[in-house]
């Protein structure tokens, strides 16, 4: 059990004040908010199924989707080749993008709650780099190890976060909000350098590893089945801790007075967020900035309570990455742009805007 003096149990920088007092927050996500988010996700997934060289009407896609449901038989009018294209290529790709995007977004929200820092993100905090390094080691050096990539990615994600936090903690609170992010950048750079060295040990696999690093959600149904169990466990754990993160946001002393064990809650959320990050990285490679863009957009639109932010980030992240993958497939067609490049184009300016807002709030 972690005590209140443990580095993991300490509150983060003053940036945590942006989340607002507990009393001012709505208690949970309203049905209308969830419904709107699900409609956006459904629209994004439909657009993802429509995107591609083959010209298939939206109505035919809807009918074919109904035909896939159990105990439902509908004639979509599609040829067997078109049905195979939808089922074997586009559908698993859309589902993988949705799952990975949701995981990265909810992990980012979880990290922000643990560290009370609005700039915490799996990509910037070292979690993604740690998971990527560990997964690369397994791919290059232990390719036949059963289940090795997810387990190694989880260990690497946890290790990357701890390294970034410990490094940032050496500067104390004098560095302000950016201290943790700078430590995460340093850890990410170091781990990425080691990862590059490991890649050179097996040059014949370099192209496959390089494609994986830039993000890839086109691995088919096997890719989906690999990530789905970890996604279910980590997402449920994070959502169940939403109320406890709200209590933690008022401060450790107040939370302890209410009977909450702050260190235990932070550790549980940290492990769940790292599991989500590891699953996403193991399945699709390094995809950055989703964990910053989506939680902040949700806070602006729906409120700052983690009982709202966590579930809506899961849905919003899914929709965001499906649309990012659609853009990656179509903007340079017939060539395909790595999905990680698309999220960086969107996320980098967003990160600068969040950093400026955070500094203004802290002054």
pLDDT in tens, 197-216: 887 777 666 666 676 667 77
Query: Is residue 8 assigned to a domain?
Result: no
- Output DSSP code: residue 16: G
Percent of residues, the chain, with pLDDT higher than 70: 84
| Residues 103 and 254: beta-carbon distance below 8 Å | no
Report helix, strand or coil for 125: coil
- Output DSSP code: residue 10: S
User: Exposure string (b/e) for 293-306, b if CB count within 10 Å is 16 or more?
Assistant: bbbbbbbeebbbbb
| 178 compared with 115, residue with greater pLDDT | 115
Query: Is residue 68 assigned to a domain?
Result: yes
Per-residue confidence (pLDDT) for residue 323, from 0 to 100: 94
Query: Is residue 93 assigned to a domain?
Result: yes
**What dihedral angle (degrees, nearest 10) is formed by the CA atoms of 116, 239, 284, 190?**
20
pLDDT higher than threshold 50 for residue 219: yes
DSSP character string of 58-79? HHHHHHHHHHHSTT--------
Query: Is residue 143 assigned to a domain?
Result: yes
Query: Is residue 197 assigned to a domain?
Result: yes
| Residues 236 and 100: beta-carbon distance below 8 Å | no
The whole-angstrom separation of Cα 273 and Cα 306 is 14
Q: Say which residue the tokens 């203004």 belong to.
A: 360
Minimum mean pLDDT range among 172-181, 216-225, 325-334: 172-181
Reported as a single tens digit per residue, the pLDDT across 305-343 is: 899 999 999 999 999 999 999 998 888 877 788 888 888
Region 284-309: what's the mean pLDDT?
88
Percent of residues, the chain, with pLDDT higher than 90: 20
Query: Is residue 174 assigned to a domain?
Result: yes
Query: Is residue 13 assigned to a domain?
Result: no
Per-residue confidence (pLDDT) for residue 62, from 0 to 100: 86
> Domain tally for the chain?
1
pLDDT higher than threshold 90 for residue 43: yes
pTM over 0.75: yes
pLDDT higher than threshold 90 for residue 99: yes
Reported as a single tens digit per residue, the pLDDT across 238-283 is: 999 998 988 888 777 777 777 788 788 888 998 899 889 888 887 8
CATH number at residue 92: 1.10.3470.10
The whole-angstrom separation of Cα 348 and Cα 319 is 19
Split at pLDDT 50, 70, 90, the class of 303 is confident
326 contact partners, CB below 8 Å, separation of at least 6? 44, 47, 48, 51
Split at pLDDT 50, 70, 90, the class of 15 is very low
Query: Is residue 306 assigned to a domain?
Result: yes
The whole-angstrom separation of Cα 264 and Cα 259 is 12
Name the token pair of 297: 């957009």
Q: Say which residue the tokens 């850890």 belong to.
A: 187
| Residues 292 and 108: beta-carbon distance below 8 Å | yes
| Residues 235 and 106: beta-carbon distance below 8 Å | yes
Domain that holds residue 87: 29-362
| 195 compared with 18, residue with greater pLDDT | 195
Q: Mean pLDDT over all residues of the chain?
A: 81
| 240 compared with 162, residue with greater pLDDT | 240
The whole-angstrom separation of Cα 316 and Cα 296 is 11
pLDDT higher than threshold 50 for residue 93: yes
Per-residue confidence (pLDDT) for residue 8, from 0 to 100: 45
């Amino acid at each position: 059990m972690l005590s209140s003096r443990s580095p993991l149990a300490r509150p983060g920088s003053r940036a945590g004040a942006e989340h607002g007092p507990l009393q001012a927050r709505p208690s949970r996500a309203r049905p209308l908010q969830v419904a709107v988010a699900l409609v956006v996700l459904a629209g994004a997934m439909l657009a993802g199924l429509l995107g591609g060289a083959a010209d298939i009407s939206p109505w035919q896609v809807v009918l074919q989707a109904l035909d896939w449901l159990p105990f439902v038989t509908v004639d979509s009018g599609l040829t067997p080749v078109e049905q195979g294209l939808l089922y074997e290529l586009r559908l698993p790709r859309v589902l993988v993008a949705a799952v990975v995007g949701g995981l990265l977004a909810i992990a980012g929200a979880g990290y922000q709650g643990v560290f009370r820092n609005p700039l915490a993100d799996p990509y910037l905090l070292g979690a993604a780099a740690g998971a990527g390094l560990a997964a690369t080691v397994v791919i290059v050096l232990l390719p036949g190890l059963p289940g090795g990539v997810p387990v190694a990615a989880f260990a690497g994600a946890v290790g990357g976060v701890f390294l970034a936090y410990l490094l940032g903690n050496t500067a104390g609170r004098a560095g302000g909000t950016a201290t943790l992010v700078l430590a995460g950048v340093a850890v990410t750079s170091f781990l990425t350098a080691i990862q590059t060295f490991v890649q050179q040990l097996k040059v014949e696999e370099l192209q496959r590893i390089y494609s994986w690093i830039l993000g890839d959600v086109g691995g088919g149904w096997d890719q989906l089945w690999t990530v789905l169990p970890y996604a279910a466990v980590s997402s449920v754990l994070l959502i169940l801790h939403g109320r406890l993160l709200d209590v933690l946001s008022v401060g450790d002393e107040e939370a302890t007075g209410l009977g909450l064990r702050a260190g235990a809650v932070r550790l549980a959320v940290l492990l769940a967020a790292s599991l989500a990050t590891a699953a996403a990285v193991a399945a699709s490679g390094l995809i950055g900035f989703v964990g910053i863009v989506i939680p902040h957009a949700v806070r602006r639109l729906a409120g700052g309570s983690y009982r709202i932010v966590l579930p809506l980030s899961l849905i919003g992240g899914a929709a965001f990455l499906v649309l990012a993958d659609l853009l990656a497939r179509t903007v340079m067609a017939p060539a395909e742009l790595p999905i990680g490049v698309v999220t960086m184009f969107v996320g980098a300016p967003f990160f600068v805007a969040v950093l400026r807002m955070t500094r203004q709030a802290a002054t």
